[in-house]
Structure formats: C-alpha cells, structure tokens
Structure 1
C-alpha cells in the first residue's frame, strides 16, 4: 500500500468536499496508518499551519460524521507546497519524499496535459500512481493525446481515471443483482427488456460552479462518463471474474457495440436545453444565462438526453436513454429497467397491467421492483411495488476509490481504450450540437425539463412515460 498522497488542486471544492472526508473515513476504518502523509499543492501563498487550519475547517464542515480523532489525524498528516502545476520544479518539490506516491490531479480537465507533462519532466518514484477526474480529455482527440502522455509517465495499471459513480453501493449492486440471481440473468436481454432509462435529474442549479460547468456542460459533465459507465454495467456480458482485465474488457465491449448516431439520428434522438428563471421549492433560481460567471454566448446546455442502441446479440432492439438535467423540480437518480408486457392477460378489462420496472436508486441508494398484482377483486389488477433499502456503506464512494488507488487495484477505474470509446460514442452528438442541428431548448427552473416533443406518437408516448416517472411518487 502506498503511504503518500499528493493532491494538485489542494484548495479546491473537490478536495474540500470529498477527498479529505474520504481520507478521514479511511482513517476511522483503520485503512490509513500513522505514517500516511498528504501533500497539498496549489497556488495560494500558504504554509503548513495555514493549510492544516483550512483542512480542519473543511473536515468539520464536510466530514463531521467521522470521528474527531480521525479528522485530527488526517489534518496532522498534511503539509503544503505552493506550486504551479505546469512547472516541473514546483511539481518535483510537491512529490518529493521516500517511496512511491499517489498523485491526484483534482484540477480542471484542461490542465491535465500540462500537469502530466510537468510530472514527466519532474520524475516520479518507481511504483507511483496517478489519478485523474472526469471528464478525461475534452474530446476524442484530446483523450488520445492525454493517453499518450500518461503512457510515457507510468504503466497503464498505475493510471486511475476515476469515476465515483462506480464506487456507489447501488451501482455495484447492478452487477450483484444480475450476476448472482438466476431469476434475472436469463431475462436480461432484448427479448424481455424494452427500454433502459439511466437518469440523473437534480434540483441543484449551478451552485457557483460556472468556472467549470460553463466550459463543459451536461453532456460532457455527466453523460460522457457517469451515465455511459452505468450503461456499461447494465449491458455488459457476464465477466469471468471481477478482476481488472475481465471487468474492463466487458465494459469496452459494450461501448464498441454502441451504434453511432448519424446526423439524422442526432436530431431525432438527442436533446439539449438550459434552464430559465424559476422556483425550486421555496428558493428563486435565476436563468442559467444570468448566473454569475456564465457566458451566455457559449449556449451551454444544462440538460442533455441521448437515446442509444447497441448492435449486439443480447441487446438488439432495446433502447437505452441517458438523461441528465440541472435545476429540475424533482431529484430522480436511478437506472430504470423497463420489461416488455406479457403476451396475454386473462383478467378481462378490470385494471391495467403496468410495465414491470426494476429501479436501481442511485441517490438515495435502494432497489424497487414495480409489478402488477391482483386488486380488490379476484379478476382485477393493481400496482405492486417491492422495495429494498441498502445498508449504509462503511466507506463513502471517494473513500473506496482512494483505497483502490492506494492498494493498486484499478478494476473500478477506467482504462485508456475505454475512455476513448466513450468519446467515440458521443462525437457525432457533439458535432451535431456544435452545428446547431439540434436546437437549444429552454425549461423553467423547477419544472420537469423541456416538454415532450410533439412529433411521432411512439416518441411522444416514451417522453410522457419518462416525464411521468420524474414526478414525485405521491403524484404518480
């Protein structure tokens, strides 16, 4: 296990909200020893004491549910180096020390190439590892270039392109539900499954993140990485083991099977929109274009929807819809697997057989199976739901990711070819959007998103189902 962690971008939001609380959780669970060290590197003109004071404050704010002694131990283990991440001399000082180091680039993606180049020139101790956040590159060309830079720095096994979604309990339970239960795997195919909705709708608006979000947008921020990763776990063939090679090979197979969208497909099967002023609960939300730090001329989307099909024996004929939006009226974060209807109902006309839908709740984590059962009368039908709640995990998602990094287990990180395949899938969408072939729609903050499209009865019905499911359970 590596006992040194260097964080570049050490005073940023990611470090404050996730990385240090994750380290406190690891310490509380006994995963970090007394010799573990953290070096924070950023542009602020601070010293060790000033940084430890900042770390202590962030742990109190974001990691208050962890024991005080664990938080204090993590703060005491930190030191600080003022550094320009593109300067090899500064970088060399930040990673200096005995033994290998795990380098976490908690930076805007645009800085990754320069930071990796500086690390290469500075040199890393044998056995070191490097961690990069999403999105990996800004397009397919950028991802390939970054992969080449990383290959010159460390072996592929030492590169951790992390996605904290993969460490969520329910996300991992997608595999558990499929592969450990005979009742599901035989029907986990297009013969029985009509559609899969992978949704991350949130009531949160921009929340002061314009510097990052207005250069990325919903498609790159969520769909290109998080939602495509969920697609891989839902659609992959059963791996021989859950080891790094078997698991990641099967994920790449899914991405390679995605049918690329034509220009016409992009117009019909993708949507983009941004929110207008509105109310979410009791708070007023300004229009995205009026948020501090936003450049309206960029026409950045806060809502993205993409419908994909897979050219594979298992999934030919099943539609996969990936959707995400900000400033919506309801949080809906789930994978919803919609099964095809039964071929015959011997119940006359009393009641309606609702679609069977297996829902993997992402936040909050849980599992729900919507079925149809017998109603008040023997020949009538009524909805029935079976619900399971997950036990709270011992470690937060970032804690599990960091533990994998320190232990050198890359199974749940993204391999280089996988990152490139994900960009390949969305390149036609990006091209169509850049050419304005797909209009930038608008929706009021606090609504269900842009209204259902008016064309095509089949498409209208699918949209209506999706928007109905976005409503709170009591309103359905």
Structure 2
C-alpha cells in the first residue's frame, strides 16, 4: 500500500508543476475589483458559485477589495438578494464558516437588469470599479444575446469574460460565439471554464506524467493497449430536464469534460505548465483525435437511455416519462465513443470515452491498460498492468502481477494505491481564484473549444440520422449490456471486478 500522507499533508508545500506560484496557496494579489454575476437567481449561481465564493472567503483567498455584484431581471434590493443567497448556502453549503459567510455577504450587492438588453446592462454596470470580470452564469441559449448586449453596452478596458461550458451547441455555433467574443475581449481575458480541469486527480495526471521519469518512456502505443475514460453516475435528471433534454450525454459529458481528460493523457510534454505551453499541447493532442468513420459508427459508438428502475433504494421513473422531457427527441442518457489519436505516439491505441446516468454502481476514472509482456515464463497467462486515476474519491492505483503467497511461482494480482485528502480548494473555488488572479491556465482557449466540437460532430450527426440504435437500460443497472459498471479498483490483492485487465 502506498501512503500519500507525507506527500500531501497540509503545510508541506506541494509542488505546483513549475507554475509561477509554489507551495500552499498564498495571498491573492488585489487584481480583481468587481465580479459581476449575470444570472444571479439561476441554479448555477446558487448551487456552485455562491458556495465557491464563500469557500474562498473562508480560506482568505478573495482579493481584499473585490465586490460581487449579482444581476438578474427580477426586481429586488441588496437585502432581499442576501436573504436569497443565505437560503442557497443553507441548501448547498450547510457546513460553512458563518463568520466568513457574513463577511462575504457584506461584499455582495444586487442590481436589476435584463442581461440581453444593452441599455439595461449599461445602466447596471455604471460606476463599478475596474478591473472587472463578468461571469455568464446563464443557460447556453442566452450566451449570444448577452454577448451582443455586452458588446454594445461597452466594458472597461481588459475586462474579463467568464463563460461556462458547453460552449455553443455545435461547431458552427462555437465559431460564431468566438467571433462575437473577439469583438470586445482579448483571448487572454476570456475564461471558458470546465470545472473538471480543476479536479485534483485530473491535475495529478500532469504530475505523474511529467515529474516521474519512469512513465514517459512507456507512454505510447508500443506499451499501452487502450485507455478508458469513464464517468458513470447514479443521479438521474435532478431537475435539469430543460437543459439536459436538449444536450444529452454526448454533449453534456464527452464533448464537455471527458475529451479534456483525453487531451491530458494524450498530449506531448509541454515546456512548462503555463497557460500558453499547456494549452498549445492540449490543442495539438485534440487536433490528432479522429472520430469514427461513417461505416464504423454502429460499432465504435453506443447510445442508450434509462427506463424505470431503482437507484440506491429510490424509485426512478423512465427518462422518457420525466417531467420536462420530450421523448420524441430521443435524447441519450448513456454515450460511448471510441476515438483514435492519429499521431506517432498513439497510432493504434483506442481511447474509449463513456458516460451514463442512473447507473447502479458509480464509476469515475481514467484507466490506462498496458500491454502484456512479450514472453511470459509463468504457467498462468499474465494480466496487463493497469494504472487508474480515480475521481471522487481522488486516488491513483497501479495493478501489477507479483509472486503470490505460498508458492512463489504462482502469480497474484496486487494493487498499489494512494488516496488523496480533499484538496484545499474545491474545483469551482480554485477556478474563481484563477480568474481573480488573471491566470487562464485551466480555462479553454477558443481554438480548443472548436476542436472539441469538431471531434464529436460526426457522431452527433450519425445519431441524429438514427444510424446508431437507441438502446435502453433499467435505472440502477450497469448500463446497456456490456457497459460493465463495476467497482473502480480493488483494494490490496485482486483486481477491479468485471474488467478484464488483459491487453485489449
């Protein structure tokens, strides 16, 4: 068993991969004076942004003079919105620091504005201090009219724009949004954020690959047979039908998050972990990703949606029967695509990305399967080594073949694993800190956003033409037949149940 206590104990000054900051999070420079949140009463603000801001306040990580100005079309004043914020914090951050909460609420104010109206925004933004960041905590469909209104209203020089992914609804839409943003913002001042990139284990892919000599010589198709990136969750719609039924699993997770993980696994070593070098390498990796050919779609992709079932003792209606769902859309809740990375390093190694909702056994991991040895002198066929990056809880494990107990000539499976304590700042709080510091390293560059859509668009089109059947699986099951929703990894001897670790 590998211990992580010494490497990750708070206060030991964990290395930051050569970026401009080292050690534990220090004081934040007073860069950002005003954070404007458009969509103040929306789900994203209440569920994610307000808790993240309070976390930062509790950690002493908010710039000293920064004010948070919430905007929405509903009438209201500062006191009413602060009461609203307290209710959301009670629901989504019940264990918060009350002193930090009250200190944060003193910074929080409210202004009524129709965010799609240039005149309303101009009036609402008047008098706010710079430097300023404008956070679009809005549904994707409001991005375009809001960006047009911001462009017409005018913003202070070098204002920062923050938009959530998914960025656009397809490749053409992403290109048009990028062109619209370029009218008013420099690319370095644009943060297209993906909270998956701030997860500790995702970032640990960089540390393991580029700070340890033993992995890079074998990090290629000569030694790696396949890579599986899996995100199975037990949750159903959870009130998100208005968004999810227009997106589906492919747009919501594979285009939006899992391809980011693929890029970190597949990229070549950057010169440094800074915004330009890291994002250049990620884009290079994504440009090499090849979607399945038309004749391969039925074999290389799968889509399905859940029927009625029981998850964790809770009865869940069929997706098609859920409130707000239009069954005629054929929206998938399970998506699986096998991509190829067409370059010297990865030629011949498949990358399988899969995600599903209402799965009985949650599974969130990046699994790297190494090839078996060229000659195996033991009687039993050896099994491939597997390196797993497990997300939620954060851990890394390595499955190996070692001489077993008793007869030393019998092989047994051993898992060496390291679990990580909770990172100091949760993903959204870390991203907000990066925004406050003007550091876009963990944000998505414009050309990268377009590449992500370029990769999935042929699959989307094939599914829209019904070239791949829409399968079904009961809620609470392991997904469609063959999906193997199994435990992420084994502890000690043994291996992850249900996953054949032999080379694929």
| 1:304 and 2:323 matched | no
Check the 8 A contact 2:158/2:186 in 1, yes or no: no
Deviation of 1:31 after TM superposition, in Å, equals: 1.7
Q: Secondary structure at 2:250's aligned position in 1?
A: helix
Unaligned segments of structure 2, at least 5 residues: 1-30, 499-504
The normalised TM-score by structure 2 is: 0.89
| 1:355 and 2:396 matched | no
Deviation of 1:88 after TM superposition, in Å, equals: 0.8
Unaligned segments of structure 1, at least 5 residues: 453-462
Check the 8 A contact 1:330/1:470 in 2, yes or no: no
Quick check: 58-67 or 390-399, which moved more? Answer: 58-67
Check the 8 A contact 1:353/1:382 in 2, yes or no: no
Q: Secondary structure at 2:246's aligned position in 1?
A: coil
Residue matched to 2:194: 163
Check the 8 A contact 1:56/1:72 in 2, yes or no: no
Residue matched to 2:471: 441
- Relative distance call for 1:328 and 1:182 in structure 2 (3 A) is same
In structure 1, which of residues 31, 50, 53 is the aligned counterpart of residue 83 of structure 2?
A: 53
Q: Distance in 2 between matches of 1:257 and 1:249?
A: 13
| 1:44 and 2:69 matched | no
The normalised TM-score by structure 1 is: 0.94
Residue matched to 2:12: none
Q: Secondary structure at 2:285's aligned position in 1?
A: helix
Cα RMSD, aligned residues only = 1.6
Residue matched to 1:275: 306
1:199-218 equivalence runs, <5 A:
199-218=230-249
Deviation of 1:80 after TM superposition, in Å, equals: 1.2
Quick check: 165-174 or 76-85, which moved more? Answer: 76-85
Residue matched to 1:427: 457
Residue matched to 2:396: 367
Residue matched to 1:19: 49
Q: Distance in 1 between matches of 2:143 and 2:298?
A: 32
Deviation of 1:17 after TM superposition, in Å, equals: 1.6
1:235-274 equivalence runs, <5 A:
235-274=266-305
Runs of at least 4 residues of structure 1 off by over 3 A? Answer: 466-476
Deviation of 1:472 after TM superposition, in Å, equals: 8.8
Check the 8 A contact 1:330/1:471 in 2, yes or no: no
Q: Distance in 1 between matches of 2:489 and 2:464?
A: 31
Q: Distance in 2 between matches of 1:357 and 1:73?
A: 47
- Relative distance call for 1:468 and 1:169 in structure 2 (3 A) is closer
Q: Distance in 1 between matches of 2:241 and 2:144?
A: 22
Residue matched to 1:95: 125
**Relative to total residues, which structure has the larger helix share, 1 or 2?**
1
**1:11-39 Cα deviation digits (max 9, x unpaired):** 12211121111111211222224422111
Deviation of 1:348 after TM superposition, in Å, equals: 1.5
